[in-house]
């Protein structure tokens, strides 16, 4: 540490220079603390999130189209344009799946393609309405459940 003791001794003036050495020391210590502490505080699971692109859907006549909307405590599910209750939805789904498997030659026939479920959900629909619809369709035997959405304006399709 350096010290200034006045110039030629003729006049005593107050020193106007600020000693920055303690400030630099404190900043270096804080920098080291932050470099050590930040990786400990920021914890995350390594994930590779999917890139969002829209795929044009291929609609087949055997696919099931459902529309779901709801507000408050009520959920409305439409099979095509017909409103159905939860029990009716399950019955129709089981019947549709059985009919489609029978049409293709039975459950042991080679190359049996099961129909898909396409769900269109209103943006303000509570999750329990859409989740309940997914659960009902999967418990009826449908393996493929997809969501129909509106693409971003100017988005490019993935072909």
pLDDT tens digits for 70-120? Answer: 877 888 999 988 899 989 999 999 999 999 888 888 877 788 888 899 998
| End-to-end Cα, the chain, rounded Å | 70
The answer to whether 135 touches 81, Cβ cutoff 8 Å, is: no
pLDDT tens digits for 7-26? Answer: 555 677 777 777 888 889 99
Q: Structural domain boundaries of the chain?
A: 64-147
**Dihedrals φ, ψ of 152, to 5°?**
-65, 145
Task: Note the pTM of the prediction, 2 decimals.
Answer: 0.61
pLDDT tens digits for 23-82? Answer: 899 999 999 988 888 776 666 666 565 565 666 767 788 889 999 988 778 889 999 888
Residues in a beta bridge with 78: 67, 83
Looking at the structure, give the CATH architecture of the domain made up of residues 64-147: 2-Layer Sandwich (3.30)
């Amino acid at each position: 540490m350096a010290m200034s003791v006045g110039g030629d001794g003729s006049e005593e003036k107050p020193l106007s220079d600020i000693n920055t050495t303690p400030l630099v020391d404190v900043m270096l210590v804080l920098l080291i603390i932050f470099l050590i502490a930040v990786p400990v505080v920021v914890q995350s699971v390594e994930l590779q999130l999917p890139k969002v692109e829209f795929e044009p859907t291929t609609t087949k006549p055997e696919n099931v189209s459902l529309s779901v909307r709801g507000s408050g405590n009520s959920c409305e599910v439409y099979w095509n344009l017909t409103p159905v209750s939860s029990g009716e939805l399950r019955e129709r789904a089981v019947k549709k799946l059985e009919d489609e498997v029978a049409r293709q030659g039975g459950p042991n026939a080679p190359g049996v393609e099961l129909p898909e479920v396409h769900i269109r959900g209103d943006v303000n629909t509570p999750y329990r309405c859409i989740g309940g619809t997914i659960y009902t369709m999967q418990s009826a035997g449908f393996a493929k459940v997809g969501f129909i959405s509106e693409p971003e304006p100017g988005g490019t399709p993935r072909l």
